[in-house]
Each structure stands twice: as C-alpha cells, then as structure tokens.
Structure 1
Amino acid sequence: MNRQSHVPSSAGASQSSHRSYNTGFVLAALLTLLPFGLAMYPSLPRHLTFIAVLVCALFQIVVHMVFFLHLTTAREQRWNLVALVFTVVIITLLVGLSLWIMYYVHYNMLGL
C-alpha cells in the first residue's frame, strides 16, 4: 500500500506575497516622491499642491492597508475591517469634536 501524501507547497504563496510587497513598495515610494517633488519644486498653486499632497496621503493609506496589512473585504478579514472602521470613527469624533469645542471656546472668549 503506497499512500501518497499531498503536502501543499508554499512556493506559489511566497511568490505572490513577494509580488504584493514589491507592488506595494513601488506604489508607496511613488506616493511619497510625488508630494516631495511638488513641495520642493512648486509648479502648481498652493491650494492645488495641498490637495495633491492630501490625495497622495489618502492613497498611501489605502496602499499600506491593502499591500502590507493585507486588509481586504474577505470573510476572514471582516472583524479586522470592523475594528478599523470603529477606530476611524472614534478618532474622527475625538479630533472633530475637540476642534469644534476649541473653536467655540476661542469665539466666546474673545467676544466676537
């Protein structure tokens, strides 16, 4: 009785993982160099440069989440995604409400 055992190879997963990390690295490097170049060599108006840097920062957050943290909408990642959304909501509330309170305290203290 010759029983063949099937041992799954991780060579394909490793190749895919390296490709994912390399793609993420290249995208992250480009999304870092682009705002740096816009800041060092200003060719756009200030408000457009600010918007471009902000958009690159948001895309870079997404790149890090997808390529390095492997956060997807897969069923196994559902609780990680819920935790991320909860964290973003709490931070947004804390920062937003703190700025709102400071604005109205400043407004009432100066009597404007």
Structure 2
Amino acid sequence: MSPLTEEQQLAAVVAAINARYPERPRAVDSDTAAKDPRNKIVVSLYRRFVAPTRRSGIVTVSAGRITTQYAAALKATVSDFRGEVRAALEEQILPGDLGPIAFESSTATEPDGDLFVGSDTWTF
C-alpha cells in the first residue's frame, strides 16, 4: 500500500472527527471554513521533520502535525469540541496507518469578536 497523500491524510482526520457528530458534521478543512467559521472545527495538516530511521539517511515514515481550531458562539461549545476531538484523535491510528496521534499543545479559549476560539496541536 502506498502512503497516503496529505489531502488523503487530512480527509481521514476530518472523517474521524465527524464520526463523533454523525447527525451534524462539524470538522472541515480551512478552505471550507472560510465560508462560515461559526460552530466549526477547522482542521489543518502539515508535514513535519522526522529524523532518518535508517543509516542510509532515508526517512521511512511520514510524519505530520495536525491543528484543530475551534470557533463557536459559546465558550462551553469550544470545550465540548475539544473533548470530542480528543476522543476522536488521541492515541488513535486512523485508516492508512495514520498515527498513532499524540497531543502536542493547545491555546486557551479566548473571545474573538462575537466568537470564542481556541486550538490544539497533534502530531503523528
């Protein structure tokens, strides 16, 4: 099986989060979120450096950083989003051998205009 592309990895993460909300998906990629940022979990994925695991210097695993940004009218909703994302991602291996996913850092939930926003960062 060939490794997943970044687009496929992002789609797998969005699908895993949305599986927690089958009646009303919340997670979207940043292009989709630009249309309406309210009550959303915006997911971004970036490649990250991994030290070579072979003496030849060839990197044998792909690694990435996932950012989940939360925006909601209520601070409690942002807290709920964090919990759902944690349940969907933390220590999970998603389809395509994406993972295990580990929590890295977060920002506090703060007001931003008429929304409350916060974010978490994950690595795999």
Please indicate the TM-score interval, normalised by the length of the shorter structure. Answer: under 0.3
Higher strand share: 2
The alignment's TM-score, normalised by the length of structure 2, stands at 0.24
Higher helix share: 1
